[in-house]
Structure 1
Amino acid sequence: MPLPDPAPRRHLHTRAVTYSGYLRDDGLWDIEGEMSDTKTYGFERSDGTQMPVGTPIHGMRIRITVDESMTIRAIATAMDHTPFPECQQGVDPMQQMVGATLGPGWRQAIEKALGGVRGCTHLRELLFNLATAAYQTVFPWRERERRLAGIAPVQATQPPYHLGRCIAWDTSGAVVARYYPQFAGWEPVRVTKPKVPPSST
Structure 2
Amino acid sequence: MPLSPPAPRTARHVRRVTYQGFERDDGLWDIEGELHDSKAYDAPVHRGQGMRRAGEPIHHMLLRVTVDRQLVVQAIEVAMDAHPLKDCPLAQAALQQMVGCSMTRGWRQSIQKHLGGVASCTHLRELLFNLATAAFQSVTAVFAPPANGDPPRHLGQCTGWDFNGNGVKEHFPQFYGREPVPALKAETATPPAER
**Aligned position for 1:185:** 177
SS at 1:93's partner residue?
helix
Shift of 1:188: 3.3
**Aligned position for 1:48:** 48
Check if 1:21 corresponds to 2:25: no
Which of 139, 142, 159 in structure 2 is aligned with 1:167?
159
| Distance across 2 between alignment mates of 1:189 and 1:127 | 24
| Distance across 2 between alignment mates of 1:10 and 1:51 | 18
Deviations 1:123-167 (A, max 9, x none): 001011111111101116998xxxxxxxxx988821111111111
Deviations 1:49-108 (A, max 9, x none): 211111111100000111122111110000111110111111111111111111011111
Identity of aligned residues (%): 52
The 1:16–1:26 alpha-carbon spacing in structure 2 relative to 1, beyond 3 Å, is same
TM-score scaled to structure 1, two decimals? 0.84
**Aligned position for 1:117:** 118
Shift of 1:173: 1.2
| Distance across 1 between alignment mates of 2:117 and 2:27 | 35
| Distance across 1 between alignment mates of 2:169 and 2:142 | 24
Runs of 4+ in structure 1 deviating by more than 6 angstroms, as ranges, are 140-143, 153-156
Query: Larger radius of gyration, structure 1 or 2?
Result: 1
**Aligned position for 1:91:** 92
Unaligned 5+ segments in structure 2 are: 183-195
Q: Tell whether the 8 Å contact from 2:143 to 2:152 is kept in structure 1 after alignment.
A: no
Alignment RMSD (CA, Å): 2.0
Shift of 1:12: 1.5
Q: Tell whether the 8 Å contact from 2:69 to 2:142 is kept in structure 1 after alignment.
A: no
Q: Tell whether the 8 Å contact from 2:17 to 2:33 is kept in structure 1 after alignment.
A: yes
